[in-house]
Structure formats: C-alpha cells, structure tokens
C-alpha cells in the first residue's frame, strides 16, 4: 500500500494516522479535515471550554513526526473506487479511512439555533452564556444537560424542553432518567413538551405556547456525516456498514468512530456508538485491517457525562426490556442482566468503582448473584 487517505480530522482520524504508523506503515498518509483546526477532543467542549475553564482541547500529537500530509479546510465531496473527490481535486488512494464523525440535527424555523459540535460552536455559545440571558435548551440528553450545567453556572435563566417524560430517556430509559430530575433545580424543565420551530426571540411549542429566549441551543441528537458518500457504491445504513474488522463494502475502505456501524460479535448485532471511546480505540483495528492483519473490534462500549456536579458513566449495551437491578447508597448504580443473570450493562452515578468493575465483568461474560448485587456495600466484583 502506497497511499492512505483519512477523511475526517477528529479523534478517529488522527488516531487512525497514529495507528497506521505504530503498526509500521511507511507509505504516504493524507489527512483531510473540513475544519480549519488541528485535531481536538470534543468532550471538553461542553465542559471545560463552555465553562470557561479552558480555551481549547487539541489532541496531544506530533503531526510532523507522523509524517502526515494534513490538509485543514479540505472537504471530501465524493468517492469512487480508488478515488476521493475533494474541494481541491481528485486524490487516488489504495487505502481509505472514513472518519467523518457525525453532525447535529437541527429544528425547523428561521430563528438562530446554536448547536455544539465544534470548537468554534463552543466559543460562540460561551460568549452568549452571560448572566441574566434567557437560554432555551431543546433536548435533555447528554449535550442538553451539560449545556444546562454551564448556562446555570454562568448565571443564565435556563429553560430545558424535552419531548420525553424524563431526561436521558433515549440512553437510559425514562425510569432511570427521572432520577436526574432533581438535578434541574433552578431550571425551568419542561418534560413531554415538543418544539415545533425556532423563531425570532424564542421557540414555538407544538399545541401552542411560546418560550422566550435570547439564546436557543438545540441538542436533539446527531446523524452520521455521510452526505459526501451519497453517490458512492458503498453500503450505508445508519452509518458506514462494516464487518467486525471495520471493513466497509468497498475494497480498501474502513470506517471508524461515530460514523461506523460495525458488526459486534459480542452482542450479535450492529452497533454505532457516538462516543469518545469508540473514536479512540476503533482506529487501531481499522489500521490493522487496512494493513492485512486479522484484527476484530469487539469492545464493551463506554461513555461518560459530567452534569450538575455528577459523573454519569455507562458501559455495555442493553436492548430495551432488559432486567435491571439497582444498587442504592449515597451514590447509586444500576446493572442490566440478561435472562441468565449475566451482566450486560452498567450505569454508575458518582460510583466510578462500579463502572470499572462492571465493565470488566461484562467483558468476562460474568453471571452475578442478584441477592448480593442489591447490596451497595458488596463490591461488584464480589457479586
Ligand atoms: P468527529 O469528532 O465528529 O470528527 C469528524 C471530523 O470529520 C470533523 O472534524 C468533521 O468536520 C470532519 N468531516 C466531516 N465530513 C468531512 C468531509 N466530507 N471531508 C473532510 N472532513 C470531514 N463522548 C463521551 O464518551 N463522553 C463525553 O462526555 C462526550 N462529550 C461530548 C461533548 C460534545 C460537545 C460532543 C460534540 C461530543 C461529545 N462526545 C462525548 C462524543 C465524542 O466526542 C465523539 O464520539 C467523537 O468526537 C467522535 O469522533 P470522530 O472522530 O468519530 O468524529
């Protein structure tokens, strides 16, 4: 292989470059990035950067030592076998990593909508979070909760509008999500409420009603950034469809991070996980696959969120309807068990030990004793 193109210069993109080099690939690498920044981490955008504790979150990497031709501001426009079409002409490749991540979904309407995906978004929004400003946040998911945390800290009047009956319903289910409602003290939290459109000066609600706001932030989810692949002869369905080696349907092409929809051997289903750990770790498998090695990506998915002074961590994967067992103490966690009492997922709130131990137990397919599990004083690894 002489030339690998990596499209997307986020975490998944730069980790792909690093993985290729650390596995001994010495040919050319071109890294295309739509943004004009060098690669940076996104989790701090809704935390330290939005809170004003930090201005940036650049990935600690040495582009010169990696001998990569990094092209900021160059966008991939199309793909056919062996060729990427870009805003600066066509580039031939014999290996391609698709690492274009995801992009925020927005709402109808002519009013200004802030999203939080890029470093520029974070700086723009931070400048608007000033004391006394009325901020309407649409969506009480991970991003919405973290933006609400920062907005309250900045002294804003905050309204959070959520279509479901509880925050975090999509990720954790309504029952667990409802446990975070008390965290919204001092915030006008409107559940079971839908926005019809964002207009000048606020948002219109479905069924009538208007929420006045100086700043409207939309955090209702993201979709894989794959428009540039629309005409390509590539299997796309909720992301780039890959096998367990992260190999896409076109020869010499792999996908990583938010945009990869891979076959999970562990769970016997397809997974697309829009979280940092996937962007960090999937590139090693993708690089190995491009280099003809036999590597399988089969993680226990993991993510975290910092909101309202709490650390929420989740590991695993649980289909709807999976049995749960709660561990209640001053902090709490919940474990999902399959029909054979095998642990398949865990969420821990301010209980990092349960998360770490739970993640290992999930990887080991451990069967747990429910009677011991309900006792929060028994370590998870001893259940
Ligand atoms: P991205 O980071 O989206 O990078 C893709 C890059 O490709 C982008 O720079 C994009 O501009 C570029 N690109 C797209 N299309 C093209 C094209 N056609 N040509 C060239 N370049 C292109 N996860 C957690 O686990 N915990 C957290 O606390 C957490 N917090 C987050 C907070 C925020 C505000 C955001 C936005 C995400 C957060 N995440 C968190 C998720 C995590 O950051 C993502 O899963 C991760 O960034 C995905 O990395 P990626 O490289 O796959 O994609």
pLDDT band at 288 (very low <50, low <70, confident <90, very high): very high
Closest CA to 258 of 234, 284, 293, 282: 282
* Beta bridge partners of residue 315, listed in sequence order: 302, 346
Query: How remote is the CA of residue 51 from the centroid of ligand 1, in Å?
Result: 19
Query: How remote is the CA of residue 137 from the centroid of ligand 1, in Å?
Result: 20
Query: How remote is the CA of residue 244 from the centroid of ligand 1, in Å?
Result: 21
| Burial of 168 from C-beta contacts in 10 A (0-12 / 13-18 / 19+) | buried
Which ligand 1 atom sits nearest the alpha carbon of residue 273?
45
pLDDT at 315: 97
DSSP calls for 86-155: ETTEEEE-SEEEE---EEE---SSSS--B--SSHHHHHHHHHH--TT-EEEEE--SHHHHHHHHHHHHTT
- Asked, for residue 317, whether it belongs to a domain, the answer is yes
Closest CA to 118 of 56, 204, 54, 52: 56
Structure tokens, 372:
């011991």
Query: How remote is the CA of residue 185 from the centroid of ligand 1, in Å?
Result: 30
Please answer whether residues 246 and 270 qualify as being in contact, where contact means their C-beta atoms are separated by less than 8 angstroms.
no
pLDDT at 153: 95
User: Looking at the structure, do residues 255 and 322 belong to the same domain, yes or no?
Assistant: no
* Beta bridge partners of residue 254, listed in sequence order: 97, 247
Which ligand 1 atom sits nearest the alpha carbon of residue 258?
52
Percent of the chain with pLDDT over 90: 96
Which ligand 1 atom sits nearest the alpha carbon of residue 222?
36
pLDDT at 359: 96
Give the Cα separation of 231 and 36 in Å (integer).
26
pLDDT at 283: 98
Closest CA to 154 of 126, 180, 182, 194: 126
pLDDT at 330: 81
The label of the residue with tokens 């890029």 reads 118
Structure tokens, 344:
């398949």
Please answer whether residues 154 and 128 qualify as being in contact, where contact means their C-beta atoms are separated by less than 8 angstroms.
no
Which ligand 1 atom sits nearest the alpha carbon of residue 77?
18
Which ligand 1 atom sits nearest the alpha carbon of residue 32?
20
User: Looking at the structure, do residues 153 and 229 belong to the same domain, yes or no?
Assistant: no
Which ligand 1 atom sits nearest the alpha carbon of residue 86?
19
pLDDT digits (tens, 9 = 90+) for 191-246: 999 999 999 999 999 999 999 999 999 999 999 999 999 999 999 999 999 999 99
Taking residues 71-77, what's their average pLDDT? 98
Give the Cα separation of 119 and 126 in Å (integer).
11
User: Looking at the structure, do residues 80 and 34 belong to the same domain, yes or no?
Assistant: yes
- Asked, for residue 300, whether it belongs to a domain, the answer is no
Last residue of a domain, one of 188, 218, 248: 218
Pairing of strands 3-7, 269-271: unpaired
Question: Which of 42, 47, 116, 117 for mutating ligand 1's site (highest number of atoms within 8 Å of CB)?
Answer: 42
pLDDT digits (tens, 9 = 90+) for 16-56: 999 999 999 999 999 999 999 999 999 999 999 999 999 99
pLDDT digits (tens, 9 = 90+) for 316-347: 999 888 899 999 888 999 999 999 999 999 99
What is the phi/psi pair of residue 195, to 5°? -95, 135
Give the Cα separation of 2 and 64 in Å (integer).
19
- Asked, for residue 82, whether it belongs to a domain, the answer is yes
pLDDT digits (tens, 9 = 90+) for 81-90: 999 999 999 9
Phi-psi region of 114 (alpha: psi -120 to 50; beta: other; left: phi over 0): beta
Ligand 1 pocket (Cβ < 6 Å) reads 7-13, 32-35, 42-43, 45-46, 75-76, 99-102, 116-117, 143, 225, 228, 257-258, 274-277, 279, 303-305
Structure tokens, 186:
């001092």
pLDDT at 329: 80
User: Looking at the structure, do residues 147 and 43 belong to the same domain, yes or no?
Assistant: no
pLDDT at 280: 98
Last residue of a domain, one of 290, 322, 340: 290
- Asked, for residue 302, whether it belongs to a domain, the answer is no
Query: How remote is the CA of residue 43 from the centroid of ligand 1, in Å?
Result: 9
Query: How remote is the CA of residue 105 from the centroid of ligand 1, in Å?
Result: 14
pLDDT at 34: 98
Contacts of 335 (CB under 8 A, 6+ apart): 324, 325, 327, 343, 345, 346, 358, 368, 373, 380
Count the domains in the chain.
Answer: 3
User: Looking at the structure, do residues 12 and 96 belong to the same domain, yes or no?
Assistant: yes
Query: How remote is the CA of residue 280 from the centroid of ligand 1, in Å?
Result: 11
Q: What is the CATH number of the domain that holds 55?
A: 3.50.50.60
Closest CA to 29 of 13, 11, 47: 13
Question: Which of 35, 225, 283, 297 for mutating ligand 1's site (highest number of atoms within 8 Å of CB)?
Answer: 225
Residue nearest to atom 45 of ligand 1 (CA): 275
Please answer whether residues 333 and 347 qualify as being in contact, where contact means their C-beta atoms are separated by less than 8 angstroms.
yes
Instruction: Kindly provide the ipTM of the predicted complex, given to two decimals.
Output: 0.99
Q: What is the CATH number of the domain that holds 321?
A: 3.30.390.30
User: Looking at the structure, do residues 77 and 226 belong to the same domain, yes or no?
Assistant: yes
Phi-psi region of 124 (alpha: psi -120 to 50; beta: other; left: phi over 0): alpha
Give the Cα separation of 240 and 234 in Å (integer).
8
């Amino acid at each position: 292989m002489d030339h690998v193109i990596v499209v997307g210069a986020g975490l998944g993109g730069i980790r792909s470059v690093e993985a290729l080099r650390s596995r001994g690939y010495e040919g050319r690498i071109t890294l295309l990035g739509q943004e004009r920044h060098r690669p940076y981490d996104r989790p701090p955008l809704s935390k330290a950067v939005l809170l004003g504790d930090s201005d940036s979150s650049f990935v600690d990497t040495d582009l010169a030592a990696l001998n990569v031709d990094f092209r900021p501001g160059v966008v991939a426009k199309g793909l056919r076998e062996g060729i990427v079409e870009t805003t600066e002409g066509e580039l031939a490749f014999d290996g391609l990593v698709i690492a274009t991540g995801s992009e925020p979904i927005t709402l109808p309407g002519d009013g200004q909508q802030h999203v939080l995906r890029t470093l520029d978004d974070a700086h723009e929004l931070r400048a608007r979070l000033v004391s006394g400003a009325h901020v309407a946040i649409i969506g009480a998911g991970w991003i919405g909760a973290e933006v609400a945390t920062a907005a309250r800290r900045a002294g804003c009047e905050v309204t959070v509008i959520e279509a479901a009956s509880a925050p975090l319903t999509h990720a954790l289910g309504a029952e667990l999500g409802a446990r975070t409602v008390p965290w919204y003290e001092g915030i006008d939290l409107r559940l079971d409420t839908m926005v019809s459109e964002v207009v000048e000066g606020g948002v219109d609600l479905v069924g009538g009603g208007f929420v006045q706001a100086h700043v409207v932030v939309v955090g209702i989810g993201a979709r894989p950034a794959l428009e540039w692949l629309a005409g390509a002869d590539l299997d796309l369905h909720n992301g780039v469809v890959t096998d367990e080696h992260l190999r896409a349907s076109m020869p010499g092409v792999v996908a990583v991070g938010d945009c990869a929809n891979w076959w999970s051997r562990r769970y016997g289903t397809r997974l697309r996980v829009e979280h940092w750990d996937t962007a960090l770790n999937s590139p090693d498998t993708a690089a190995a696959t491009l280099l003809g090695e036999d590597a399988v990506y089969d993680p226990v998915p993991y993510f975290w969120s910092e909101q309202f002074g709490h650390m929420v961590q989740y590991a695993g994967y649980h289909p709807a309807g999976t049995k749960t067992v709660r561990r209640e103490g001053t902090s709490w966690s919940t474990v999902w068990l399959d029909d054979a009492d095998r642990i398949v997922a865990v969420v821990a709130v301010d209980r990092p030990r349960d998360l770490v131990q739970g993640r290992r137990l999930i990887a080991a397919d451990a069967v747990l004793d429910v009677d011991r599990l309900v006792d929060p004083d028994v370590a998870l690894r001893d259940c």
